[in-house]
Each structure stands twice: as structure tokens, then as C-alpha cells.
Structure 1
Amino acid sequence: MEKDSVIIISGGMDSITMLYDKKDSIALGISFDYGSNHNAREIPFAKLHCKRLGIRHITINLEFVHQYFKSSLLDGAEAIPEGNYNDENMKSTVVPFRNGIMLSIAAGIAESNDLKNVLIANHAGDHTIYPDCRPEFINSIDKATQAGTFAKVRVLAPYTNITKTDIAKIGKKLGIDYTETWSCYKGGEKHCGKCGTCVERKEALAGAGIDDTTEYE
């Protein structure tokens, strides 16, 4: 298979699963450090897995996001809400148009490296909370990157309509060790076990029949 894609890889469960799932087509992994509470915990896992697979990895600094954007994800661990991953509870964690910014940069990098596709691992559980994870957004930005590049770069999001549990099931088949991923939005030494992303992580692993050996506080 031709290595014709870049992947936006955070170091979380979803993007690490896609990295292994689509590894034969991936030429470059891109992480973005935008100053969130958990970037420092996630990105080393992105580097680790890319290195393990022999895939080039780069980290792009988006310091301006932390400086100018409003989100509890940027305001310290104490600002992160606890409880279930639902619309009202987790809405404060939205970083406005984050995926739009990252996909635009990734499309430019793809064309600069003669690559045709940008992969992103948004999923169905993101839809109610994050506008730039929804199918209508993905379809729109896919059209925009095709129209705005000579190479007609595509945005591919194959997990858009499946759940995080479905993703964990894919990872189980691929033999991924999810202890080598990071989910917690608080970004402490261990997963807090209480924030929306930790709760979602627990539910996905349980739903996939994976023994959860994550270290929680």
C-alpha cells in the first residue's frame, strides 16, 4: 500500500488506534501542542508509537491557541468538569475550531510532502459536544482542502460514525496496549478517573472487553 497520508495524532486512544489501523498508508504523524492541560502527557505517547512503527513524527507548537482562545482545557486541571461525557457538562472543554486549525495546517503539510490525505480520529461520541467533529464539518473541510490545494488533499475520518467502544474493539484486535495512551483532560501524574474523558475511557474499555489497567488516582 502506498504511504500517502499524514495523521493528526494526539496520543489518545482514538488516534493511536487509527495509527495502527492505517499504518501501511501513513507517512507522517503530526501532533499539535496548543497548551492544553494534557498535551505534555499525550504527545510522548504519540512519539512512542510513531517511532515503534517507523513513522516520522513532528510536533507543531500552537502557542497562540493557549494565549487567545477560551476553553477550560487551557485553564488548568481544576477547571475541568467531572462526570459523564455529555453536552452540557463537557461543553466548556471545547477549544473553538481546534480541528479546523489543525486540519488546515495538516493539509498544507500533506501537499508540501506530496501526500494526498489527512487522517483524523474523531468519532460519534464527539458529535454532540464538538462542532468540528461532526460529519457536516468533516464533509465541508474535506471539500475545502480539495478545492484549496493543487493535490486536492482529502480529509479522511473513517471513525466519524462509530463509537469509542467500537474503536477500542478495533484496538483489541490489533493488540494495542491502551496503558500507552492518555485520556485525562486534567493532565496529572495519573488519570483522575472522574472527568468526562476518563469516564468515557473506562466505558469504552469495558465495552470492548479489555481489562482496564490504567492507573487512576
Structure 2
Amino acid sequence: MLTYLKWTFRIVLWSTLFALAHYTLPQHDVVRVVNTYQERQDLGDWTRIFWAHPDDQAANLANRDVQFIQTVRRKTWLLGFYQTGGEETMVYRNEDTGWSWPFYFKFDTANLQTEADDLRSEKENPEWAVMTHYGWRNELWSTFPNAVAIRPVDAPDVTVIPWFNIFFFVFVVVAWAFARAAWRQFRQRMVDPAVQDAEESWDEMSSRVNEKRGRIRRWLDTWRDKK
């Protein structure tokens, strides 16, 4: 039973960390911008966590105007590393993140909206761009990924290497290995000797207690023999 609980805890923990990383880390889509617009959104339910909170005022509003970018996106698989050749629609929100989480420090919503407007094109004469964003698109919960940057590209089959994500995971692995080595060294130098000393002290105390008990029993036995 304990083994099942341990594995369940590990699966839940790693799944949560993976979901958090997948939502927060930047992703890159090859898109064709078809339209931009602004719409008032109600932020009264639990899905508020999927909208940005650039300042205290925005966090307290029940609804606010949000800018959106409508695109046609190239389909990909394997977390966006490979293109399948097809296309699908994708709508991005365009909100400042400010100083809040996730820490993109985005303050140029108006500039990004202008850049997206400038890249609008028709299907007959497409102009392609790479949209950098974070977050998820979910039609049921009406959540949208947040656009962070956009830049034009010459062709839709461009290869985008996620350098930030690569460096991030390398840093995480190195930091984890360093922390593990530091903990092992600390455990060998501090924890294990302290535990060993505590065990020896406990054994010594137990021996003394047993010895005193034996003396008391022998003393009581002498009184019983006299009777």
C-alpha cells in the first residue's frame, strides 16, 4: 500500500511540474495573422487564473477589455518541434504581464497589437510570422494563450529552436545535480554523524537503564530470599 502511495505521489508531482512548465515556458508557433480585435471579458469565475494580472487594479476588476489576435497556425507535434503540414485556427490574447507571474515583464501590448495588424494577410498572398506565447487554448473554459512577441519569417517551414527552454532545462538539471551532491555531502558530514551519535547515546542510555533495573531486581530478590 505504501508503495502505491509513493508512486501516486511521484506521478502527481511530476505531472504537476510538467503542466506548470508547459503552461509557463515560451512556445513558438508559425502563424498567419487574419484579424485583430478587442473584446470585453468577464473575469468573475475560477478561470480568472488564466488571465494576466499586470497590476492590482486589473486583479480586482470583474471584467475588462482584452485584445486578441486571430491567426491560422501551422500544425505541429512533439511539443511544436515538428510541423505536420496542416493548418488550424488559433486565437491569442494580448495582455501585459507586468511584474506578475509568469515573469515575462511584458509592457508592450499596444506595440505587439500594431505589429500583428501590420502582418495581416490573405490566404492567396500569405505572410507568415513566428508567434511567441505561453499558456493554453481551451474552448470549453474560454482560455487563450498570451502572445509575447511576433516576428515575420520568409516561409512557413521555418525551424524555430527553443533556446530559452533548452537553457532552462539544462540549468534545472545542473542545479538539481548540484543540490543533490551538496545534500549528500551535508548528510555525510552533518546528518549521518549526528544520527549515529544519537543512536549511540540512546544505546548507552538503554544499557544504563537496563543495568539499573537489574540491580533493583537483584536487590528485591535478596529481600524475597530473607522472607
**Which is strand-richer, 1 or 2?**
2
User: Max radius of gyration: which structure?
Assistant: 2
- TM-score w.r.t. the length of structure 1 is 0.20
**With CA pairs under 8 Å and 6+ residues apart, which has the higher RCO, 1 or 2?**
1
